[in-house]
């Protein structure tokens, strides 16, 4: 349950904290496995563990949920290999090359016919509602995946007034300062990774990994490029990378944090998971609050 990446959304109106209401609402849109002719399916699943059959799990002022996605895998190489003989046969029959529209139609028919034989792949994405901060925190770096989860939540709950947590214009300016080692969030120091991109059409890019960011060879790029991501780290706390669109990636909780509950063991699974969730969310909330202090919209 230790999140790896997050997308954060702020809510303009509080959500219900009635766990029974959430449980019923999410259960109505619970995950069901793909049928033979379906390509992709999503639905709510159990956020803690398959043995703990709750679609919504309450822990202090937090409500946890999870969305499961299952999709059929149809490699392009397989589709192309199957398509080519069909294209050749149809072109010979019609006495002319197939149009792009005809090829696309043939491809869609072929994909549908291959679905029953395709392997499926599943993924589980957790998230939580923080009623104290009025945040939704989704365990993904992908904006599109996060938006899909918000759409499913909106369908289940009926209303979800959610917007990205940061003002991206302020963030862009702040990233420039952070690379100069200025105005860093409270408790954070520069990490050792950064990416920059020129704002012109060519969009020249440069990436630094495991590099001292205060050196001249890094700083010189600020003359003609914008910072698109930078890593930050707390002493014995949380290390992360923040991007210019507000995604927080490569979360790494220090051993000092993750080992605090080791003495509890795993005999009581739910108690241990709850303890770890509280540790994780407390560390994450502290870090996100420090980052957002100067960047929240007016």
pTM of structure: 0.86
Pull the structure tokens for residue 156.
């289940």
Which of 107, 106, 128 is closest to 281 using CA atoms?
A: 128
Question: How does pLDDT run along the chain (298 residues), one tens digit per residue?
Answer: 799 999 999 999 999 999 999 999 999 999 999 888 888 899 999 999 888 899 999 998 999 999 999 998 888 888 888 888 888 888 888 888 888 998 888 888 888 888 888 888 999 999 999 999 999 999 999 999 999 999 999 999 998 989 989 888 889 999 999 999 999 999 999 999 999 999 887 789 999 999 999 999 999 999 999 999 999 999 888 999 999 999 999 999 999 999 999 999 999 999 999 999 999 999 999 999 999 887 766 5
Measured CA to CA in angstroms, residue 127 lies from 6, 18, 64, 245 at distances of 9, 17, 6, 19
Which of 207, 185, 182 is closest to 194 using CA atoms?
A: 207
């Amino acid at each position: 349950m230790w999140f790896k990446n997050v997308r954060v959304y702020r809510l303009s109106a509080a959500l219900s904290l009635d766990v029974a209401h959430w449980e019923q609402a999410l259960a109505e849109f619970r995950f069901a496995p793909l049928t033979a002719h379906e390509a992709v399916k999503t639905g709510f699943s159990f956020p803690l563990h398959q043995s703990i059959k709750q679609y919504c799990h309450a822990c202090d002022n937090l409500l946890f949920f999870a969305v499961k996605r299952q999709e059929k895998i149809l490699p392009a190489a397989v589709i192309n290999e199957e398509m080519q003989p069909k294209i050749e046969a149809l072109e010979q029959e019609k006495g002319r090359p197939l149009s792009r529209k005809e090829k696309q139609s043939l491809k869609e028919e072929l994909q549908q016919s291959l679905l029953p034989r395709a392997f499926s792949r599943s993924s589980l994405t957790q998230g939580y509602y923080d009623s104290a901060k009025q945040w939704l925190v989704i365990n993904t770096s992908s904006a599109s995946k996060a938006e899909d989860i918000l759409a499913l939540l909106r369908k289940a709950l009926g209303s979800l007034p959610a917007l990205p947590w940061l003002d991206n214009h302020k963030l862009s300016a702040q990233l420039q300062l952070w690379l100069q080692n200025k105005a860093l969030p409270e408790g954070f120091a520069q990490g050792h990774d950064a990416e920059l991109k020129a704002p012109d059409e060519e969009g020249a890019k440069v990436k630094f990994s495991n590099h001292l960011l205060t050196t001249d060879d890094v700083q010189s790029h600020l003359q003609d490029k914008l910072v698109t991501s930078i890593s930050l780290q707390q002493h014995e706390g949380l290390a992360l990378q923040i991007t210019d669109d507000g995604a927080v990636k490569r979360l790494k909780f220090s051993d000092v944090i993750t080992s605090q509950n080791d003495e509890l063991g795993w005999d009581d699974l739910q108690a241990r998971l709850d303890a770890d969730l509280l540790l994780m969310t407390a560390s994450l909330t502290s870090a996100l609050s420090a980052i957002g202090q100067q960047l929240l919209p007016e």
